[in-house]
Amino acid sequence: MTRSALLLLLGSNLVNTLQSAPINSHGETKISNLNLILKDVNAQNITEFTGFNVSLKLTTAEGYLIDQYNFRVDTTDNQGVYTYTSLRPETLSTTISIAWATNIPPPSFTTTTEFTGSTPTRGPTEEPTTTPKLPSDCDEISNRTSGVHIIYPDGKTPVSVYCEQKNSLTYTVIQSRGTVGNNISFDIPFANYSDWFGEAGIGNNFWIGLDNMNALSTNGKSYSLQIDLCCGSQLIAKQIYHNFKVDTKANQYTLTATVDIPGIGLDYASTGKDIGAPFSTYKDYKLPKGKPECDQFEYEDDDGNLSIGYGGWWFGSCGNNLNGFLYESIYGNCKVTRFATTKLLGINMRTSSGQGVGGYDVDLVSYDRVRMALFTFDSINVDRLDDTFCR
Ligand SMILES: *[C@@H]1O[C@H](CO)[C@@H](O)[C@H](O)[C@H]1NC(C)=O
Ligand SMILES: *[C@@H]1O[C@H](CO)[C@@H](O)[C@H](O)[C@H]1NC(C)=O
Ligand SMILES: *[C@@H]1O[C@H](CO)[C@@H](O)[C@H](O)[C@H]1NC(C)=O
Ligand SMILES: *[C@@H]1O[C@H](CO)[C@@H](O)[C@H](O)[C@H]1NC(C)=O
Ligand SMILES: *[C@@H]1O[C@H](CO)[C@@H](O)[C@H](O)[C@H]1NC(C)=O
Ligand SMILES: *[C@@H]1O[C@H](CO)[C@@H](O)[C@H](O)[C@H]1NC(C)=O
């Protein structure tokens, strides 16, 4: 199959539309009727969707240039959302979210038609199924009340998750840490991370399981991931990623996602990144070539005592581990400078792109409430300052 080059043309009135569109308090705007034209540059039929190019110019009403950039989105997803942040030195960055949907039908299951005798006849027509499809995520649950609900990520196996309705988004919470309700160990064998464990609920400790993450990744939807990090009742950061997927190629659970703000969180770059890394516990971790050590496992505290590993994560940068040891926060201070008897690093996630104290990849913190939640609609509806999860 030949790779068709596709060109994404933004409506020529884009700049005018931006000027007149309502802008919310975070400076975000939504263009709902933007004309996106998928054109096959070779004037052949489109056989394969491999992504699109975006060319954007932002000006003020007076015509002064605010920002201008071109980028390419390599994707074969039928639909999705891509957010691009243009970092501009010494001034505010500009962020755009592009939602796309192609008219290329998703790959369908091939049905075999049996021919009997010499007369070719059509096979038996399929009875319309009367069993309603089981909800695979919180979006598919008709009960729109926030709370614990049962979903069936693989279409048949139930799992209880916390569903949250917020600003016209429905969140499926796939991981959470906190001191409410339960305090369960995340320092468990690699094999135990494939299935769910813990207890769904706000501020509880919960993991939906790598197999369920993979099932959600292969249901044809495109999920965005929101990570909330709290210290005490304070929201430290809200990180957003798009096209979140956990692949199971080569018996590894590899993390895929596209980035909202480059260089931080899952995109924090050390010798590697968490995006693209396989899931492992510190016991199964294989140091990639050229990487001297993984700072999640060996870190010296202020007493000069070395830490040991805890839990499992996509240890690519070794700067993050939301499945780290849960330290109780003292007066809302989440700094962990002495491991005391635990010898453990806490729940940490890079919120800056520069290296941590002493050139190490980790931040010496342990957030006391964190959450990973999936949603399927435009992230323009995310209130990036909303801290209700932390309170
Ligand atoms: C899209 O962008 C890529 C790289 O940025 C470039 O190689 C390609 O020619 C562009 N395609 C079109 C149709 O403009
Ligand atoms: C494109 O598709 C149409 C309709 O399916 C077909 O008639 C036409 O021959 C195709 N063109 C090429 C270049 O494949
Ligand atoms: C809807 O979900 C909420 C939260 O889980 C629950 O309390 C309520 O009973 C449910 N309502 C119905 C009609 O099932
Ligand atoms: C891991 O899973 C096995 C099999 O389900 C179970 O017997 C064991 O208790 C689990 N271990 C931990 C530490 O959760
Ligand atoms: C959780 O339990 C461990 C021991 O099992 C304890 O050391 C730790 O302090 C507890 N954490 C919280 C937040 O209660
Ligand atoms: C930490 O290091 C100090 C000094 O080397 C030592 O006295 C202390 O026992 C160590 N603490 C732990 C918990 O290993």
pLDDT tens string 149-184: 999 999 999 999 999 999 889 999 999 999 866 778
Give the pLDDT band of residue 131 (cuts 50, 70, 90). low
pLDDT at site 43: 52
Name which of 139, 191, 198, 141 is nearest 169 in CA terms: 139
Distance (Å, rounded) from C-alpha 157 to C-alpha 152?
5
Give the pLDDT score at 331.
Answer: 63
pLDDT level of residue 46 (50, 70, 90 thresholds): low
- DSSP states along 297-349: T--B-TTSPBPB--SEE--SSSS-BTTSB-PPPBTTB-B----TTT-B-BSB-
Output the pLDDT for position 147: 96
Domain map (residue ranges) of the chain: 4-106, 132-390
Cα torsion through 270, 82, 101, 134, rounded to 10:
70
**Nearest alpha carbon, ligand 2 atom 11:** 45
The answer to whether 319 and 356 are in contact (CB under 8 A) is yes
179 lines ligand 5 (CB under 6 A): yes
The answer to whether the beta carbons of residues 98 and 73 sit under 8 Å apart is yes
Using CA atoms, how far apart are residues 360 and 274, in angstroms rounded to an integer?
16
Q: What would you measure as the largest C-alpha separation in the chain, in angstroms?
A: 85
Q: How crowded is residue 245: how many other Cβ atoms within 10 Å of its Cβ? A: 17
Over 90: is that where the pLDDT of 348 sits?
Answer: yes
Cβ of 150 closer than 6 Å to ligand 3, yes or no, is no
Pocket test for ligand 2, best of 44, 45, 47 (most atoms within 8 A of CB): 45
Is the CB of 45 within 6 Å of ligand 2?
yes
- ∠18-24-26 over CA atoms, to 5°? 105
Assess whether pLDDT exceeds 70 at residue 196: yes
Q: Which atom of ligand 3 is nearest to the CA of 148?
A: 5
User: pTM here?
Assistant: 0.69
Average per-residue pLDDT for the chain: 80
Looking at residue 77, its pLDDT comes to 72
- Is pLDDT above 50 for 1? no
**What whole-number distance in Å separates Cα of residue 300 and Cα of residue 323?**
20
Summarised one tens digit per residue, pLDDT across range 89-116 is 777 777 777 766 665 554 443 333 333 3
Ligand 6 atom nearest the C-alpha of 304 is 2
Burial classification of residue 339, based on how many CB atoms lie within 10 Å of its CB (0-12 exposed, 13-18 middle, 19 or more buried):
buried
Give the contacts of 47 (CB within 8 A, at least 6 positions apart): 1, 2, 4
Confidence of residue 51 (pLDDT cuts 50, 70, 90): confident
* 120 band by pLDDT with thresholds 50, 70 and 90: very low
Q: What is the pLDDT of residue 100?
A: 67
Task: Classify domain 132-390 by CATH number.
Answer: 3.90.215.10
Tokens encoding 264: 């931080």
Atom 13, ligand 3: residue with shortest CA distance: 143
- Report the SS3 class of residue 214: helix
Tokens of 343: 């010898």
Q: Is 44 in the pocket of ligand 2 (CB under 6 A)?
A: yes
CA of 45 to the centre of ligand 2 (A): 6
- Is the model more confident about 324 or about 9? 324
pLDDT score recorded for residue 6: 30
Cβ contact 173:206 at 8 Å: yes
Beta-strand ranges (E) seen in the chain are 6-9, 37-40, 51-59, 65-74, 79-86, 94-101, 147-151, 159-166, 169-177, 197-198, 206-207, 224-231, 234-247, 254-259, 280-281, 312-313, 369-375
pLDDT for 48: 65
Q: How many helices (H) and strands (E) does the chain have?
A: 2, 17
**Number of CB atoms found within 10 A of residue 10's CB:** 18
